Chain A
Amino acid sequence: MTAVINENPIIQVNNLKFFYPGDARALHGIDLSFPEKNVTALIGPSGCGKSTLLRCLNRMNDLIDGCRVEGEITLEGENIYGKNTDIIELRRRVGMVFQKSNPFPKSIYENVIYGLRIAGEKDKKLFDERVEKSLKAAALWDEVKDRLQESALGLSGGQMQRLCIARAIAVNPKVILMDEPCSALDPKSTARVEETIKDLRDDFTIIIVTHNMQQAARVSDHTAFLFEGNLIEYGLTDQLFVKPQVKQTEDYITGRFG
């Protein structure tokens, strides 16, 4: 646990332990802070707990019956595992993009404003505005602006994933979590999504889980390496990939295991 980054941490993880049902421990006390308006990548071999950690940040793990969390995660200073946390509110502030793109079986337009609609928003003007803004931010506007009312299911895989990004952006979150967003995409679509991620860095804090170290190197400012539920090394991406401090990290990024 080297180099705790101090520039404006928006999310602070303190001694986080996570247990799957049956007391199977997946995270063994993680301390980590995510800086604001930065891209942070979580890397590590399969089963190292990087997705679990990510899903703790918007309490997506609550959907699993019988799991348990110890420790503390603060978002802008507030503990999200506190007694009075409004999960709905939390998830509006921490959006998420999934490994498999999951547009709803609705029109492109309705997909983007879904988050606004369920929040009770009814202003048509705001809808139009947000749809344009979010789709532009996700670099999808030019491709779909003439068929906003068509089903989102007719889009290509890469377009679907960018639509999911637009959908997450539309509710104006502080943080966007991305769980291997490119693993189901071809290289060309991957490149476009990565482009999008880089563009979004100015407005949002992005935390991305990835399998692909080149991708982490390309898009992220900071990188955290996890192994068997422990945080092994955390630092600036440039430093971590060029001069890893820990042997395990070096072994992993040089391809000796994982």
Chain B
Amino acid sequence: MSTTTKNMNKYWRIGEPMVWLSGASLAITLLTAIILLAVIMINGLGVFWPAELQRLELQDGNQVIGRLIKSEPTADGSALRRQYKIANRDLYGLDFRWIDEDQIVSQEVPRNLLVLERIEHGDFYGELKSLNLNGTTRTASLPDLTKALIEVETEIRGLRELEGKLKDASYLMEQLRLKKLKFDYKGVPANDPKQVALSQEKAILDEEFGHLIDIQTRQNARAREDTAMFTDASGREKEIVLADIFQVYAPNSMGLGDKIAFYSAKLLELFVGQPRESNTEGGLFPAIFGTVMLIFVMSLFSFPLGVIAAIYLREYAKEGIVVRIVRIAVNNLAGIPSIVYGIFGLGFFVYGIGHSIDSFFFPERLPTPTFGTGGLLWASLTLALLTVPVVIVSTEEALGAIPREMREGSYALGSTKFQTLVRILLPMASPGIMTGLILAMARAAGEVAPLMITGVVKLAPALPIDGNFPFFHLDRKFMHLGFHIYDIGFQSPNVEAAKPMVFVTTLLLVLIVLLMSSVAIRLRNKMKKRYTFGTF
């Protein structure tokens, strides 16, 4: 008895329970993170896999073509029910359907079932019946369709080029309009040679524009002539314009190699393609670009600002009550809800500074704002403000951790404070500063709330960088992966159809953060190796 108590006492004294406790909490934390990542990975990575299409015959005699999403017990738990994606939104109104398992009479996987990815109305599942090319109708098979699609695609490509030209032309016209506004604002009379030249230029452009529009209308009509007839599960016919078909494939007759090739092509499209179907399909390129650009511009502001502020606090400011208050304030800035930063950004940057810029430099355009509205620059500045405390705290700590002997050694050789700072202290503090930057970048990448009121949009018409002078358009609105998740996940009219994209976008955002921080970590390790003591 007493020996047991003794043993127990000893057990507590040694601290064994503490080891277990700390180990367990670490395990729980890790487990949650791993589960979260696994859910994202499993749901996100499977999205583009061309899964098989099933044709079902139901007890009521109806036929259904669909892709199995999941199966689960019914509400009373007596039977199983399955969720199918049946697509054909334009025919059925819904993309998804629940089917009780005991309703299914037969189930097969015919090789000729096709999946059409369309520009509008989502996917179409069904069979090909005939092709209508150049006014003649004939029965056809998948290779014929593919061939016809390739032909149509050249036409579509021509149309895209035309669209690009139209975009350029309208950009030029907008520039002319702004120029004219400026002249009018300055009171240049209409018969002034400058104004005359401007209107001449405008007339030429207008004519060119009209000409382009004509060509576009004609080509468009021509491209939309060719159609194909498809049938759905119950044999209902549906004529689809070939130009509306984005891609066609027969998942049931694809081998593993085909599927992998298909999957890779889809993945590539995700990175470089433009979004379609109110963002629920297609690529994420503008959002990826916007996110990376945002983080980059944010770092450009927050990094120097934070480091210099920390240098002042640690090296130059006299230690005292003021410095202590500033330090406490900086530490507590991190606790302010990010939406508050957003509101501040909106009030201060957008309405305050942005509006002032507008009234000084672009008064003729008012009330249409140029800088006085949300944009990449303001969103970056807001995020910079949000992350600057992280940079300050880590830089201060890094500077404080440098042994006193280093400073003294440098001073003793006749160096000034500034020389010591630049040649000894900053290089030695650089790994710590990098850590701060990594944390700041990760925080900025995950922030959505402040962006929503400082310039992020669902669909940006143009990227913040393009070929038009001055190339960097930081006043433009932009797309962002985090906002994309919120938008398609909760604001989309067809949430169920958008769900896979939510996971993919999340995965992508995680990957981008991972990529950017691993680059920064590599850099930090390099610095660490250079500037810290290996052995003593």
Contacts and interface: CB of A to CB of B under 8 A. Distances in A.
Interface in A55-80: 58, 60, 63, 65
Given A118-B419, A118-B423, A154-B534, A104 B409 contact: yes
Given A105-B428, A105-B532, A115 B406 contact: no
A182 interface: no
Contact of A102 (B403, B423, B531): B403
Nearest to B527: A105
Interface centre among B409, B412, B532, B533, by most chain A C-beta atoms within 10 angstroms, is B412
B411 A63 contact: yes
Q: Could you tell me the dominant secondary structure of chain A's interface residues?
A: helix
A88 B405 contact: no
Contacts of B4: none
Interface in B490-536: 530-536
A171 B408 CA distance: 16
A152 to B, nearest CB: 10
A39 interface: no
Nearest to B420: A118
A91 B413 CA distance: 6
B309 interface: no
Contact of B427 (A63, A91, A105, A157): A105
Q: Could you tell me the dominant secondary structure of chain B's interface residues?
A: helix
B468 interface: no
B319 interface: yes
Interface residues of A, number: 30
A92 interface: yes
B424 interface: yes
A169 to B, nearest CB: 11
Nearest to B530: A105
Given A118-B423, A157-B536, A151 B530 contact: yes
A174 interface: no
A102 B406 contact: yes
Contact of B411 (A91, A103, A167, A168): A91
A164 interface: yes
B424 A104 contact: yes
9 contacts: A60-B411, A95-B412, A100-B403, A102-B403, A105-B531, A117-B423, A118-B413, A154-B535, A168-B413
Interface of A: 58, 60, 63, 65, 88-92, 95-96, 98, 100, 102-105, 114-115, 117-119, 151, 153-154, 157, 164, 167-168, 171
Interface of B: 318-319, 403, 405-416, 419, 423-424, 427-428, 530-536
Given A91-B414, A151-B530, A167-B409, 13 more contacts: A60-B408, A89-B414, A92-B413, A92-B414, A104-B410, A105-B428, A114-B410, A115-B415, A118-B415, A118-B419, A118-B423, A154-B534, A167-B413
